[in-house]
Amino acid sequence: MTESKSTPSPDDFSRLIGSALTMWAQVEYAHCCIFQTVASGVLGNGALMKAYWAVISFEARQKMVDAAVRETVSGHDEYLRIWTNLNNRLIRKNKIRNKLAHGTIVPTFESGQLVDVYFAPYFFPNIGKYILETALNDERLSDHDITSVIESFSALNQDLLSFFERYDREQILSRSQVMPDGTREAPRFHRPTPPPQIDDAQS
């Protein structure tokens, strides 16, 4: 991986890791917005929001949302093309997020002076290899590497929001206007219908 031109402090690394994980939380929120909208046509659907966050594993949520999006926009090639790109990026970036969430900051001192700091993904399961420096050197992340990760998470977040806003706008404008691929088929979702009225005398 690339190396920094100057030696950052452990606190600098802590701030960078915090920024990266906070940005990933925004990615997850945008992902949740897409799920609510394609599954019900309504942003702010409390039941779907609760269902999304009830699934602890992001990998499971990613598969759930991917299935919902593909079913909803099937037949609309432009949406499918954009979504496939986004979904593939989500898979890749989630692996990087996991590295950040399960690693640690490793400072190196010589004669009491800080001479190097790096971030070691999955440090404790591989502590012996890191300490002996016999492996995993390519896994080490510099402050520059983590800054690049933050930027990539931010770009993914913006692209997810753009997908959501475009989908939401085009469905609101008309249920039967031309879709991105030129067809006039109405979107394949329906707003929730109210529950049937039950006569108290029958209950």
Residue 33 tokens, joined: 């917005």
Question: Residues 6 or more apart from 159 whose CB is under 8 A from it?
Answer: 86, 89
Contact 62, 94 (CB under 8 A): yes
Residues found in the chain: 203
pLDDT at 166 over 70: yes
User: What per-residue confidence (pLDDT) applies to 193?
Assistant: 41
User: What would the two tokens of residue 22 be?
Assistant: 């906070």
Is residue 119 within a helix (H) or strand (E), and if so which, with residue range? strand 113-120
CA quadruple 38, 39, 41, 42: dihedral, nearest 10: -110
Paired tokens of 149: 């990760």
The one-letter code for the residue type at 150 is I
Report pLDDT digits (tens) over 44-87.
788 999 999 999 999 999 999 999 999 988 888 889 999 999 99
